[in-house]
């Protein structure tokens, strides 16, 4: 690995609660539905721009009980908005699949390395992924909230300073943020982050041509 391969960007980790307790048929049914639906959701989020999913996401990595989304570094800070969309959509899944218990979502801005796996596919490894998973250990999750690391929230604030139209869109949805929490992870390392949520659920679409100036 070389330093030229190092990336620093937003990472979203979605964990499906109780996934390992489901039957194989239920796991396949659920993950197929979520993957297809999240793809539609992301396409809706970027419908007013020149972006594609392949330009927006560098990686979509299965964890067995969920997945990591790795954003293009040029969109660093957008991870919080995308995670809010994941969370909102998942609240409606039990209507179709009563055995679905929900998801837990964490967002972190960190570093990782790109490499090619044994099949020649691009994959990622590094502290950023590991650190993101630690934020799922926070025990005081409330329903419909997302745990955002202090680093990710700082990236989010920089993003809003650049793309100011999102401030009003978030205000319309009743965006809320907790105080800064701190806790120790399973390795006794101190972590700091915020819980965020929307009072009015929904997918936040970018204003027309928001990202069209980006060369990606």
Structure tokens at 76: 């660093």
Average pLDDT over residues 25-29: 95
162: enclosing H helix or E strand: helix 150-162
Q: What is the mean pLDDT of the chain?
A: 89
Of 43-47, 123-127, 176-180, the poorest mean pLDDT is in 43-47
Of 30-39, 49-58, 76-85, 95-104, the poorest mean pLDDT is in 49-58
Q: How far is CA 103 from CA 98, 133, 149, 211, in A?
A: 14, 14, 17, 29
Query: How far apart are the C-alpha atoms of 94 and 214, rounded to whole Å?
Result: 37
Q: Which pLDDT value is given to residue 49?
A: 73
| Residues 196, 61, 125, 73, CA torsion sign | negative
Predicted confidence (pLDDT) at residue 2 exceeds the cutoff of 60: no
Q: What is the pLDDT of residues 8-19, one digit of tens each?
A: 999 999 999 999
Count Cα neighbours of 79 within 13 Å in the Cβ-side half-sphere.
Answer: 37
Predicted confidence (pLDDT) at residue 4 exceeds the cutoff of 80: no
Strands (E) across 47-121 are located at 57-62, 66-71, 103-116
What domains does the chain contain, in order, with CATH numbers?
3-198 (3.30.70.1230)
Region at 64 (left for phi over 0; alpha for psi -120 to 50; beta for the rest): left
Average pLDDT over residues 101-113: 95
pTM of the predicted structure, to 2 decimals: 0.91
Confidence class for position 136, pLDDT limits 50, 70, 90: very high
Per cent of the chain over pLDDT 70 is 94
Q: How far is CA 42 from CA 45, 172, 196, 204, in A?
A: 5, 20, 20, 10
Average pLDDT over residues 111-132: 91
Could you give the dihedral angle defined by the CA atoms of residues 48, 52, 130 and 31, in that order, rounded to the nearest 10 degrees?
100
Q: Which pLDDT value is given to residue 108?
A: 98
Q: Which residue has the tokens 């721009």?
A: 49
Confidence class for position 174, pLDDT limits 50, 70, 90: very high
């Amino acid at each position: 690995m070389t330093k030229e391969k190092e990336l620093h960007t937003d990472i979203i980790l979605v964990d499906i609660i109780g996934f390992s307790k489901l039957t194989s048929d239920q796991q396949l049914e659920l993950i197929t539905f979520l993957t297809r639906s999240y793809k539609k959701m992301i396409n809706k989020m970027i419908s007013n721009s020149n972006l594609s999913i392949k330009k927006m996401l560098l990686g979509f990595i299965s964890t067995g009980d969920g997945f990591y989304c790795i954003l293009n570094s040029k969109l660093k800070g957008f991870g919080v908005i995308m995670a809010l969309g994941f969370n909102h959509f998942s609240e409606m899944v039990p209507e179709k699949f009563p055995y679905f218990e929900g998801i837990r979502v964490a967002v972190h801005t960190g570093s990782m390395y790109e490499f090619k796996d044994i099949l020649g596919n691009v994959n990622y490894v590094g502290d950023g992924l590991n650190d993101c998973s630690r934020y799922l250990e926070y025990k005081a999750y409330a329903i419909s909230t997302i745990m955002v690391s202090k680093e990710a929230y700082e990236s989010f604030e920089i993003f809003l300073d650049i793309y100011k139209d999102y401030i009003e869109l978030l205000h319309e949805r009743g965006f809320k943020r907790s105080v800064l929490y701190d806790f120790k992870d399973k390795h006794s390392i101190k972590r700091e982050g915020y819980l965020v949520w929307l009072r009015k659920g929904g997918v936040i679409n970018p204003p027309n041509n928001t990202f069209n100036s980006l060369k990606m």
